Amino acid sequence: MARPDRGWLARRIRASAARQWARILRRTRQQPGPLPQSLRDEADALHRDLSQVIRLADARSLGPRDSLPRMDLPAGTDRRWRPQVMTVPIASAALVAPDNGRWLSDEVALFHDCPERALILRQSRNRRATDLTDYGLALEMMGFSGSFLSFSLTLPPEMLEELGTHHIVRLASTLQAERPIVVYARLNIQQGPNTETILRQMGDPIAGRNCDRVVEFDLGYAELSQRTVDKAWLDLIFEAPYMNAVVLRDVILSRHPRAQI
């Protein structure tokens, strides 16, 4: 049976919608004055969905660097995830002097309280033969005078399915830093109005290139209820980030069952 999004009728519907938006574009160019806000919101929602489709298509057509299915992970691993920002180019590849809470992509947001905003977060290209993915995240810190700096990765819905206290969430990452810096990983799990957090230091200070780090979050010690997890995200927190540059060359989150005693 043919998929419903590939049939003749589906293609006709999409072609008709494309022609309608093309007519809207021509009228907007010809007529002065602002575009109705409702139409602008509709176009913005369509743009987000189309961008997601393009990114997913690019991610699933990767060549030999798509190492995720071949990763050696703990027995019983039922979910594994590498952010799309690590696998495909994003539309806005850099945040320069950003305000607190700015998003680099749908997955990545930067948080800080530096009044001078002396920061750059950008997608960087991985070019070494040993790199297992095409892109990384580079964070450059100049005269940082704030008290906190972190960026967060939003976990996709498939990582949240049936997630509970019987799981261990595993973070495997490769980092580099110009100067030694302590990095923490904090997993945040939201259920309704409650958010449970688990904080782990990512080993010794990151220094030099290709610092591989693995940390695990045992949800058996988290105060989670039986209800569905609404949202989860991972914060990478940088201690004393003055005049430094850190590159997250790869990150993989996975989950596997914890040992039952």
- For the stretch 247-256, pLDDT in tens is 999 999 999 9
How far apart CA 194 and CA 217 sit, in angstroms, is 18
| pLDDT tens per residue, range 37-87 | 888 788 878 877 776 676 666 555 544 455 676 677 888 899 999 999 998
φ/ψ of 50, rounded to 5, equals -65, -40
Residue 127 φ/ψ, nearest 5 degrees:
-115, -5
To the nearest 10°, report the CA torsion of 188, 77, 51, 10. -130
**Cβ-based burial of 187 (10 A; exposed 0-12, middle 13-18, buried ≥19):** buried
Place of tokens 């591989």: 212
Compute the distance between CA of residue 45 and CA of residue 40 in angstroms, rounded to an integer.
Answer: 9
Q: Give the residue from 254, 198, 260, 194 showing the smallest Cα distance to 228.
A: 194
How far is the C-alpha of 78 from the C-alpha of 45, rounded, in Å?
32
pLDDT (tens digit per residue) in 183-236: 999 999 999 999 999 999 999 999 987 899 999 999 999 999 989 999 999 999
Q: What are the tokens at 80?
A: 């594994």
Structure tokens at 93: 């590849």
Separation between Cα atoms, residue 252 and residue 185, nearest integer Å: 13
Nearest Cα to Cα of residue 150 among 182, 180, 172: 182
Q: Which of 241, 249, 257 is nearest to 83 (CA)?
A: 249
Q: In sequence order, what are the beta bridge partners of 149? A: 112
In the chain, the domains with their CATH numbers are: 8-60 (no CATH), 74-257 (2.60.120.260)
pLDDT confidence band for 121 (50 / 70 / 90):
very high
Query: What is the bridge-based pairing of β-strands 194-201 and 183-191?
Result: antiparallel
